[in-house]
């Protein structure tokens, strides 16, 4: 079972993000607001595979999430693509404490970027004289989402990084043993 999980970790983790995104577990939220779940997957994968592939994975993740949600008028694709590209450019040091702190900070900034892009799409589409009434609760939602994403990112992203490292080492070991024979 463990070998199957490591071998198919990419697919299993990619499928789990839309499930968690739609499930909205209550114990992770504040006032019904959840962390921005896609960034927990996008950060480790983009940092491991690079910025161009991170941009492409952001596009695919945005397409999957947009097809599952019923949000007419705005899309999550630009924010996820921008974050995937930016995450691919980041290189963390080996210091454990700094790495964990960085995951939270990077995901919080990414959540702010995605939330701001979503809000700007909604405001451009629904611009009226009363948009200031709409702006205050939206900023509150974005700030709570940024806090929750930054709070849970060190725990979740470090575990995904750990599985990626184990999976890479196992694949590298298999590759090396095949080339020697």
**Residue 38 in contact with residue 80, Cβ under 8 Å?**
yes
The tens digit of pLDDT for each residue in 84-97 reads: 999 988 876 655 55
pLDDT of residue 76 exceeding 60, the answer is: yes
What is the chain's percent helix, strand, coil content, to nearest 5?
A: 80, 0, 20
pLDDT > 90: percent of the chain? 23
pLDDT at position 181 is: 47
d(C-alpha 181, C-alpha 178), whole Å: 6
> What mean pLDDT value characterizes the chain?
80
Query: Distances in Å between the alpha carbon of 158 and those of 66, 103, 140?
Result: 27, 8, 28
Pick 19 or 2 by higher pLDDT: 19
Pick 63 or 93 by higher pLDDT: 63
The tens digit of pLDDT for each residue in 101-127 reads: 888 999 999 999 999 998 888 778 777
CA angle, 81 as apex, 170 and 8 as ends, to 5°?
Answer: 25
pLDDT at position 6 is: 65
DSSP bridge partners of 30: 33
């Amino acid at each position: 079972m463990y070998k199957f999980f490591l071998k198919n970790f990419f697919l299993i983790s990619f499928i789990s993000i839309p499930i968690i995104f739609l499930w909205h577990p209550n114990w992770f939220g504040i006032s019904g607001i959840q962390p921005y779940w896609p960034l927990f997957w996008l950060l480790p994968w983009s940092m491991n595979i690079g910025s161009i592939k991170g941009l492409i994975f952001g596009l695919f993740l945005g397409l999957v999430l947009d097809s599952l949600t019923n949000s007419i008028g705005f899309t999550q694709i630009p924010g996820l693509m921008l974050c995937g590209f930016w995450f691919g450019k980041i290189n963390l040091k080996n210091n454990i404490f700094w790495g964990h702190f960085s995951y939270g900070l990077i995901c919080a900034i990414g959540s702010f970027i995605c939330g701001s892009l979503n809000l700007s799409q909604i405001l451009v589409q629904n611009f009226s004289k009363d948009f200031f009434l709409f702006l205050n609760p939206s900023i509150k939602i974005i700030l709570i989402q940024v806090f929750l994403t930054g709070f849970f990112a060190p725990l979740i992203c470090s575990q995904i990084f750990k599985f990626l490292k184990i999976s890479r080492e196992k694949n590298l070991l298999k590759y090396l043993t095949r080339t020697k024979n």
